[in-house]
Amino acid sequence: AYAPDVIHPVVRTHPVTGKQSLYVSDNFMERFDGMTVQESEPIKRFLLSWLSRPENVYRHRWSKGDLVMWDNRATLHYGVYDYGPDQTRIMHRTTAAGERPV
């Protein structure tokens, strides 16, 4: 199915804290506005490699009863399958309506 291009800022300002963060995704970002996919790729790779440096990553070590929450407006997250088939994972996802990124 056809999906029209949607333009989001690469640097967005959090509406509550006023802090700026990068809004870049490997899965959902095709290109930068005004650039081709090929022109965008090296910049996108650079930003994603910087975001995923160890000093920018929080890796949760799960314990029974843990609850983890994050703010999608300022978090790049990636779920890792680090539990076996004999372990139960219960996940409840809630998404709240938000504002347009600025």
Burial 69-89 (b: 16+ CB within 10 A, else e): eeeebbebeeeeeeeeeeeee
CA distance 40 to 33: 9
- pLDDT at residue 19, rounded to an integer: 92
Q: What is the pLDDT along the chain (102 residues), one digit of tens a residue?
A: 677 778 888 998 998 899 999 888 888 888 999 999 999 999 999 999 998 899 988 888 888 888 888 888 888 877 777 777 888 777 787 777 777 777
Residue 75: its pLDDT value, please?
84
> Are the CB atoms for 6 and 100 separated by under 8 Å?
no
The pTM of this model reads 0.72
Predicted pLDDT at 47 = 94
